[in-house]
């Protein structure tokens, strides 16, 4: 017969065992989760870009049954407001306070440069779903910093050749004055001038200023053959409308990286028709992934996707590839990074791989706005890799 004391001891130890098992199970679940920090603009001129990236990322996760590489995804979200002055503090909230496994962000290059510094210093894995500053996969490249979008150089350099081939000699450029605008102009100028053209004037206005009128007057007075611009988001829609309203559209061809017309055509209300742009994506590309992605996006969000949604989707795909190639259990950053570097991403843009600098090697399409869509009319630069000047990982 078991004594009263012994019964009590058995009961207590059974309870302890149960509790221990529960705790162990909880720890395993926590370890199996992946903590994703989304740092994106949800307000301001780039708000629609931040939302599209978020939608695309979550669409891919939903398609995998709510998991990436078999892990539940826990999100931590910060609105970066496209404000470089707040970027370090915002990134630190995700890295130090929330202890995320991966930082996903952002749209604005100035903000991304500050984020990347936090990522490098803390050795946090970072996936850039848009920002194109050349430095990010150039002199500031790092093994833990990946980009699923583009460098400023890629679409701009492809456009320089197109504009030269179309017989234009003198071009005026106009862009927001910050790293991405300046580097887009530099990338364009490099190939355009190599092909015999001349950038006769570089005009800039502060980000996110949309008082375009004085610049349009100056452009008209300069009488170039064509105009090359960088604008995006709400500011891009206003620019293209103002360009048409100023009477410039009919006689002065407008060229740009495709950010000008992606996600903005509806807001332009027809003013964008006919504009030629270069980008690593176009609406309705002829591949199976684009078809399933587009129909899934429309079903989930009741809106057409754009390049930003694609980049969000592909960021989730890249992370999934990393996690699938790493052991289960605690987040093994080195193994995740290795699998990410080796991944081929089956993207709606067409499949792509990453360069040694962790930037996509991808086709840059020539697109034309037709019937409210960015239709592909050719490949301006096949399998274009950023030169990654100054990146130590290239050697
Ligand atoms: C950037 O700041 O890198 C940037 C912003 C908006 C775009 C493209 C690039 O559409």
Domain of residue 201, CATH code: 3.40.50.2300
- Could you tell me the distance, in angstroms and rounded to a whole number, from the CA of residue 188 to the centre of ligand 1? 15
Instruction: Calculate the alpha carbon distances from 342 to 261, 336, 339, 382 in Å.
Output: 32, 10, 5, 20
Query: Is 0.75 surpassed by the pTM of this model?
Result: yes
Q: How far is the CA of 219 from the centre of ligand 1 (A)?
A: 23
Backbone angles phi, psi at 41, to 5 degrees: -80, 125
Atom of ligand 1 at shortest distance to CA of 108?
Answer: 2
Mutate to test the pocket of ligand 1, among 259, 277, 278, 308 (most ligand atoms within 8 A of CB): 259
Domain coverage including residue 194 = 153-279
pLDDT of residue 25: 47
With the most atoms of ligand 1 within 8 angstroms of its CB, the residue from 134, 179, 232 to mutate is 232
**pLDDT tens readout for residues 316-333:** 999 999 999 999 999 999
At residue 173, the pLDDT reads 99
Mark the ranges of the chain whose per-residue pLDDT is less than 70.
1-31
pLDDT at 304: 97
What's residue 303's pLDDT? 97
> Which atom of ligand 1 approaches the CA of 307 most closely?
10
- Residue 117 neighbours by CB distance under 10 Å: 15
Distance (angstroms) between ligand 1 centre and the Cα of 20 equals 50
Two structure tokens written together for 87? 């970027």
| CA–CA dist 218, 110 (Å, integer) | 28
Q: Within this chain, do residues 48 and 140 fall inside the same structural domain, yes or no?
A: yes
Residue 18: what pLDDT?
A: 53
Question: Do residues 105 and 130 both lie within one domain?
Answer: yes
- Does one domain contain both 158 and 274? yes
| Domain identity same for 270 and 198 | yes
**C-alpha Rg value of the chain to the nearest Å:** 24
- With contact defined as beta carbons under 8 Å apart, do 82 and 131 qualify? no
Same-domain status, 272 and 314: no
Q: Are residues 273 and 295 in the same domain?
A: no
Verify that 145 and 173 share a domain, yes or no. Answer: no
User: Ligand 1: distance of its center to the CA of 232 in Å?
Assistant: 7
> How many angstroms does the Cα of residue 93 sit away from the middle of ligand 1?
23
């Amino acid at each position: 017969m078991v004594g009263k004391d012994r019964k009590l001891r058995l009961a207590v130890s059974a309870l302890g065992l149960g509790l221990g098992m529960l705790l162990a199970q909880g720890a395993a679940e926590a370890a199996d989760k992946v903590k994703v920090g989304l740092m994106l603009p949800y307000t301001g001129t780039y708000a629609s870009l931040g939302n599209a990236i978020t939608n695309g990322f979550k669409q891919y996760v939903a398609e995998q049954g709510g998991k990436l590489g078999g892990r539940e995804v826990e999100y931590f979200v910060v609105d970066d407001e496209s404000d470089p002055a707040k970027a370090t503090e915002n990134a630190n909230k995700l890295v130090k306070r929330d202890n995320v496994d991966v930082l996903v962000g952002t749209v604005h290059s100035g903000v991304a440069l500050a984020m990347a510094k936090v990522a490098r210093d803390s050795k946090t894995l970072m996936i850039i779903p848009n920002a194109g500053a050349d430095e990010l996969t150039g002199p500031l490249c790092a093994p833990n910093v990946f980009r699923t979008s583009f460098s400023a150089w890629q679409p701009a350099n492809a456009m320089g050749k197109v504009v030269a081939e179309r017989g234009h000699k003198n071009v005026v450029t106009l862009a927001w004055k910050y790293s991405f605008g300046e580097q887009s102009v530099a990338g364009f100028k490099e190939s355009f001038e190599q092909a015999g053209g001349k950038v006769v004037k570089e005009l800039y206005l502060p980000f996110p200023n949309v008082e375009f009128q004085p610049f349009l007057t100056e452009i008209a007075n300069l009488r170039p053959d064509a105009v090359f611009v960088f604008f995006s988001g709400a500011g891009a829609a206003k620019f293209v409308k103002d360009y048409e309203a100023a009477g410039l559209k009919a006689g002065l061809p407008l060229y740009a990286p495709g950010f000008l017309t992606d996600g903005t055509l509806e807001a332009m209300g027809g003013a964008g028709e006919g504009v030629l742009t270069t980008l690593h994506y176009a609406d309705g590309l002829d591949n199976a992934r684009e078809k399933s992605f587009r129909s899934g996006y429309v079903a989930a969000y009741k809106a057409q996707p754009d390049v930003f949604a694609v980049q969000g989707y592909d960021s989730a795909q890249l992370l999934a590839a990393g996690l699938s190639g790493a052991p289960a259990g605690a987040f093994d950053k080195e193994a995740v990074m290795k699998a990410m570097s080796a991944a081929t991403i089956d993207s709606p843009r067409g499949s792509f791989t990453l360069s040694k600098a962790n930037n996509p090697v991808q086709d840059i399409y020539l697109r034309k706005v037709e019937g409210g869509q960015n239709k592909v009319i050719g490949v301006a630069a096949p399998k274009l890799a950023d030169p990654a000047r100054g990146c130590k990982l290239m050697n």
